[in-house]
Structure 1
Amino acid sequence: MNTAANNIANMTSGGAVKGGNGPASYTAQTVQQEANGDGGTSTTVVPKNPPFVPSYAPDSPFANSEGIIGAPNVDLAEEAVNLTLAETTYKANIKTIQTASDMMDELLDAFDKRV
């Protein structure tokens, strides 16, 4: 969620490209997910490739001689999907934990009744 939120917050943070003056644009990030051998997954936050896309903004103080700046490589629709996916995954994980807890409670109750 943090990665998508950072990308959305900085999606208008244009910067200089080669030949322009000023700071580089925000480098958008993406999350890579990999399966672990034990059945779980791990995630890593990595820079998007390409980090920026050229955008025509001749009035920008960061524009080069052709009026081009680097705009962060952020797609708002993609980031909205990523946020929704993260929220859904979080809710599913909470439900799994609640179900495991309920099952443990039922098991303990069954043992208490036998004793």
Structure 2
Amino acid sequence: MKVHTSVMTAGVLMAALFAASPAALAHDHKGMDHHEGKRDKKEMCEDFREGKGKFSKEHREERQKEMQEHRAEMADRLMLTDEQRVIWSEIHDERMEKWQKKMEKRCDDMK
């Protein structure tokens, strides 16, 4: 009798979990703009040109510091040699330069 009750309880529990899973997997976007930064490109470009908001010197320096720490931790986990770390850094610098040029081009097109 106990086995039958346990199997039924497990079945009911599984059914409840499956029924609740769409709600558990759904993300609550209250207060979040899903396309943040894409909605007003003109304002973003103004901030970029004037160095305001997330393009300010202070924000950029703080972000660079965070990213350097993150890259150092990643390099440690990957057990990179000193030579590989130099290459790793150069790759990230190149990506940053490409991003900068892309932003400049995008904002020049917005004029």
Tell me which protein shows more helix as a share of its residues. Answer: 2
With the length of structure 2 as denominator, give the TM-score of the two structures: 0.31
Tell me which protein shows more strand as a share of its residues. Answer: 1
Structure showing greater relative contact order (alpha-carbon pairs closer than 8 Å, 6 or more residues apart): 1
Greater Rg by CA: 2
